[in-house]
Structure 1
Amino acid sequence: MIGANTGTTLQLACDFELLTECYDNPETLMWRDAGALAATIAFSATALGMTSVVLGRAGGGVLKAAGIDPRFAAVGAVHVGAAVASAMR
């Protein structure tokens, strides 16, 4: 899908408990910040000649399987990989 044979998926997470203590109505801030971070990762990967795709998943199951503290909320993921030579033509 993104022209990469291998890569790394970065799962984004937020300490929602801390965010709730700092802000009123923190949900929108959490999702906006996650989107800005995902876009920045994608722009940076492109600038470095890499591939990236922002994944349409929150990833709560990933955090749970990794044993991450339940107070953390999964807020998205970005897959980053090295570009395949044929995809760069």
Structure 2
Amino acid sequence: MRWEALFADMEAQLAAGRLADARADVAELARAERASVPLAARVRASVGCQVRVLVAGGDTLSGELVDAAPEWLLLRTQAAGRALV
């Protein structure tokens, strides 16, 4: 009986280790997947959402994201109507 309990415990530890390894692999793959998505694609996914952008000089623009490209953002703001960033 002692040997059976010992082997059962060892098998449980091995299974737990495999599960921990699998979880670590999944987390790493998720990080790699997120890293492969360009910033422009992430921003375009937010079209129609309210955003706040910190621009050079320290100014902040807030508004609805109307359109986006790798080099610019178009916001609909209350103050200026539309702002090209």
Q: Give the alignment's TM-score, normalised by structure 2.
A: 0.30
Greater RCO (Cα-Cα under 8 Å, separation 6 or more):
1
More helix by share: 2
Q: Normalising by structure 1, what TM-score?
A: 0.29
For the pair shown, the structure with the greater C-alpha radius of gyration is 2
